[in-house]
């Protein structure tokens, strides 16, 4: 049985991925700083404690493992604190760097190296590019989310020199049935006050959770997959079109645009980059490798996620 280790695996996406890997016949070990607080994890997943900084305790599991997936890092989005205070910025950055360093230490010490290390990252890597289509060959941006992604990726650079295949998953916002970004985007519509964010002209890259999980497996299992991949649906759309699609599926009005100044005033830099920022990210490398998207357009994705049972 192939062993997969997931750092930070107790988050929304980590739990969904762990469950899928268990169903596919993998042995899954999820690392958590507080296993007693882990909820919603598939029973067959073994949850082990780690300090988020070192390979102490769990490092021996890397010997002979098939893969290590690095999800670890403090939340960069709105919960639990909707501002990037200096201390929070430091925690966001250092939590990722420390986790990456720990993975490198574990791989270096392993007699039988893992076959692949998957380094999570974000489409925020590219910064804000307006209407420009963004493929994997574009350079990094310079705003705070971009710098976080750069440091996150760089933390496991040494993996490649150890002879281990490394895949970087630059992931767009993942749409899920419960929680995540879609919850916040849909909430105003459910109270009949939904609309575009700001002028609505900013591009919104996204990916359905089913395609996210399928893409992770596709890249893990494909020996030719190396380097950075954009995990995003092939059809990004501007925010006003996304709002229109949400309103249609939820059967709610789309008449209450939220002024840009509110996000800038209330959330500061976070609002300007994560809410009003424009990213037209394209999954060029995934498409070139023939990855089959199940939900290529927002309408089908939202219909699947928001449909009433």
pLDDT of residue 307: 84
Return the number of other C-beta atoms located less than 10 Å from residue 94's C-beta: 15
| 14-18, 35-39, 70-74, 303-307: least confidently modelled range | 35-39
Mean pLDDT: which of 49-53, 107-111, 259-263 is highest?
107-111
Yes or no: say if 231 and 289 are a contact pair by the CB < 8 Å rule: no
Distance, in Å, from the CA atom of 98 to the CA atom of 132, rounded to the nearest integer, reads 33
Q: How far apart are CA 231 and CA 135, in angstroms?
A: 11
Residue 195 in this model has a pLDDT that exceeds 80: yes
Lowest mean pLDDT among 81-85, 98-102, 130-134: 81-85
pTM of the model: 0.94
More confident residue, 268 or 195: 195
- DSSP 3-state assignment of 257? coil
Provide the residue ranges of all domains of the chain, joining segments of one domain with +: 3-176+207-235+282-290
Provide the pLDDT for residue 269.
Answer: 82
Burial of 220: CB neighbours in 10 Å, binned 0-12, 13-18, 19+: buried
**pLDDT tens for residues 31-84?**
988 877 777 787 889 999 999 999 999 999 999 999 999 999 988 875 555 667
Top-level class of domain 3-176+207-235+282-290: alpha beta
Mean pLDDT of 126-137: 97
Q: Around Cβ 93, how many Cβ atoms within 10 Å?
A: 18
C-alpha span between 208 and 222 (Å, rounded): 21
- Between CA 42 and CA 50 the distance in angstroms is 19
């Amino acid at each position: 049985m192939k062993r997969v280790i997931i750092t930070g695996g107790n988050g929304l996406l980590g739990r969904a991925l762990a469950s899928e890997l268990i169903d596919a016949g993998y042995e899954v070990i999820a690392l958590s700083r507080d296993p007693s607080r882990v909820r919603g994890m598939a029973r067959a997943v073994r949850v082990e404690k780690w300090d988020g900084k070192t390979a102490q305790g769990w490092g021996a599991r890397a010997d002979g493992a098939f893969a290590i997936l690095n999800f670890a890092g403090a939340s960069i989005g709105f919960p639990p604190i909707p501002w990037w205070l200096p201390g929070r910025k430091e925690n966001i950055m250092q939590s990722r760097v420390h986790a990456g360093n720990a993975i490198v230490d574990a791989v270096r010490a392993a007699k039988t190296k893992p076959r692949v290390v998957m380094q999570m990252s974000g489409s925020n890597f590219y910064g804000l590019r307006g209407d420009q289509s963004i493929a994997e060959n574009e350079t990094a941006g310079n705003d705070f989310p971009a710098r976080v992604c750069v440091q996150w990726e760089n933390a496991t650079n040494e993996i490649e020199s150890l002879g281990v295949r490394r895949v970087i998953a630059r992931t767009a916002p993942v749409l899920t049935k419960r929680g995540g970004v879609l919850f916040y985007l849909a909430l105003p519509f459910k109270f009949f006050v939904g609309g575009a964010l700001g002028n609505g002209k900013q591009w919104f890259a996204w990916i359905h959770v089913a395609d996210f999980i399928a893409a992770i497996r596709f890249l893990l299992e494909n020996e030719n997959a190396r380097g950075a991949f954009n995990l995003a649906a092939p059809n990004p759309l501007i925010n006003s079109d996304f709002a229109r699609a949400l309103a249609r599926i939820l059967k709610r009005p789309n008449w209450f645009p939220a002024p840009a100044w509110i996000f800038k005033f209330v959330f500061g830099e976070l609002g300007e980059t994560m809410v009003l920022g424009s990213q037209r990210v394209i999954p060029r490398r995934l498409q070139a490798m023939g990855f089959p998207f199940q939900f290529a357009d927002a309408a089908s994705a939202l219909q699947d996620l928001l449909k009433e049972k």
